[in-house]
């Protein structure tokens, strides 16, 4: 029998996104770039190669014998940031911080680098968007000058690696990963191939040296992190920095965290002195007024393990201009509001068919959890009937299409926060459990009963 001949097929790879194909195409089907596919060699027919055992980096040991001393989280000294991280920065971890331009990412991370330099040795901030003089001006403004805080302005990965060898930092902040390019790979600056190569190289160095790396990332018009999706899989922690452009409130959320909870939130307020943590942000989301106003209801939302008081306001006006009634929202889910409008009208007996309904949250906070359904429904009914709700009342609970009020998670912590803030009446789903002292609880099985009782 003649020997089997294994034929090799040419492979082509896109220099922009890394897409691989067995034949050349004029346009990459993945990133839609023209003329980006180039031949990079061949693979055996069927894609099979013989793999033999090779050297290992370390011997496999029982999980109970693995040391943890070098992987404990080190607090940064910024309580709200440590809360999101799950206790602090873990040596060897890689973090990705993304947010819109001007939201305060660079200012917050410069303060983090300053705190780490004070407590844990040298830190290195590499900026690919600003000069060192510009970063120094920001550091003077927020009081972040320290002899162990080093600055560099580089856009080449090789230069960044040289700075790491020279400074030997415990923390590296790269602002931003889209501005640094690797000469070892092809692709445009800031493209998917370059971003992946830079992040992979810095991740390997972070793991080998036990150095924490914080990568600043850009976002697209839709608010998603720019670059390949593999970037989020590669890093250990993904943090989003949110905030309205016309508000001083900033929210830091962890959407991925390998070392702690991935649903925590940190609240900050930005001002002339930089970004300052707000340990008790409930007062930012509730209006202060001398007398009650129709169309307003306070609820208690859960952001991770933190209960926050938030106020929902509504305005119902007759549609005098004709046409379809308007439904406008700010800080709430439009689809959820449309459903609650229908339930209030059908199950609660409140006519809204010929009225314009406007609903918004106070303070720029975005409320998306179903626990706020009860507060939204009561605010709409209060505005439609032009009758204010009782003073010192909070309400929470999920409202179903049949009008029933369902239980939500964290009822005990919600009630405790309401009592701590001085509220005396809570409208909640049935069977709430223990009730804090000084708080009267009204259990409501359905929306119709609570509307009849209040109005």
Return binding residues for ATP: 99-106
Helices (H) and strands (E) in the chain, counts: 10, 21
Q: Residue 117: CA atoms inside 13 Å, Cβ hemisphere, count?
A: 22
Distance from CA of residue 396 to its chain's centroid?
24
**Distance from C-alpha of 285 to C-alpha of 337, rounded to nearest angstrom:** 19
Find the helix packing angle between 334-346 and 373-385, rounded to 10°: 60
Residue 421: count other Cβ atoms within 10 Å of its Cβ.
17
**Distance from C-alpha of 285 to C-alpha of 362, rounded to nearest angstrom:** 5
**Distance from C-alpha of 298 to C-alpha of 294, rounded to nearest angstrom:** 12
- Six-digit token pair at 326? 């308007």
**Distance from C-alpha of 372 to C-alpha of 299, rounded to nearest angstrom:** 6
**Distance from C-alpha of 37 to C-alpha of 98, rounded to nearest angstrom:** 30
**Distance from C-alpha of 331 to C-alpha of 365, rounded to nearest angstrom:** 6
Give the DSSP letter of residue 413.
Answer: H
Are 10 and 39 a contacting pair, CB within 8 Å?
yes
Instruction: Tell me the DSSP string of 212-224.
Output: EEEEEE-B-TTSP
Are 437 and 426 a contacting pair, CB within 8 Å?
no
Residues at the annotated binding site? 99-106
């Amino acid at each position: 029998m003649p020997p089997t001949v294994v034929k090799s097929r040419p492979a082509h790879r896109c220099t922009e996104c890394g897409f691989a194909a067995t034949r050349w195409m004029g346009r990459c089907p993945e990133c839609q770039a023209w003329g980006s596919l180039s031949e990079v060699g061949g693979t055996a027919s069927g894609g099979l190669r013989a793999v033999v055992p090779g050297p290992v980096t370390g011997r496999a040991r029982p999980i109970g014998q693995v040391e943890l001393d070098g992987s404990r989280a080190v607090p940064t000294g910024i309580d709200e940031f440590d809360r999101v991280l799950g206790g602090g920065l873990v040596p060897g971890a890689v973090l990705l911080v993304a947010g819109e331009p001007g939201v305060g990412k660079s200012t917050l991370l410069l303060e983090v680098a300053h705190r780490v330099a004070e407590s844990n040795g040298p830190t290195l901030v590499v900026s690919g968007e600003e000069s060192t003089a510009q970063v120094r001006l920001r550091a003077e403004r927020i009081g972040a000058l320290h002899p162990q805080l080093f600055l560099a302005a580089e856009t080449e990965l090789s230069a960044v690696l040289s700075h790491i060898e020279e400074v030997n930092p415990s923390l590296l902040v790269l602002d931003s990963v889209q501005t640094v390019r690797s000469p070892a790979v092809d692709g445009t600056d800031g493209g998917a191939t370059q971003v992946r190569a830079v992040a992979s190289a810095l991740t390997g160095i972070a793991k080998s040296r036990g150095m924490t790396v914080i990568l600043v990332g850009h976002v697209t018009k839709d608010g998603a992190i720019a670059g390949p999706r593999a970037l989020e899989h590669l890093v250990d922690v993904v943090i989003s920095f949110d905030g309205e452009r016309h508000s001083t409130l900033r929210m830091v959320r962890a959407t991925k965290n390998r070392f702690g909870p991935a649903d925590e939130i940190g609240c900050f307020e930005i001002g002339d002195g930089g970004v300052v943590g707000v340990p008790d942000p409930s007062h930012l989301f509730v209006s202060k007024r001398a007398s009650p106003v129709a169309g307003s209801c306070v609820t208690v939302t859960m952001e991770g393990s933190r209960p926050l008081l938030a106020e929902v306001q509504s305005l119902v006006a007759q549609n005098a201009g004709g046409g379809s009634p308007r439904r406008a929202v700010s800080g709430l889910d439009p689809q959820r509001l449309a459903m609650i409008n229908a339930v209030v009208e059908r199950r609660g007996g409140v006519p809204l068919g010929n009225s314009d309904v406007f609903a918004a949250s106070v303070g720029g906070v975005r409320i998306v959890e179903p626990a706020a359904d009860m507060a939204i429904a009561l605010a709409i009914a209060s505005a439609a009937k032009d009758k204010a709700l009782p003073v010192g009342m909070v309400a929470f609970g999920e409202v179903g299409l049949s009008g029933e009020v369902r239980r939500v998670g964290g009822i005990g912590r919600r009630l405790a926060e309401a009592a701590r803030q001085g509220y005396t009446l809570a409208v909640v789903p049935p069977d709430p459990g223990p009730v804090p002292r000084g708080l009267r609880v009204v259990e409501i099985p359905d929306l119709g009963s609570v509307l009849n009782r209040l109005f």
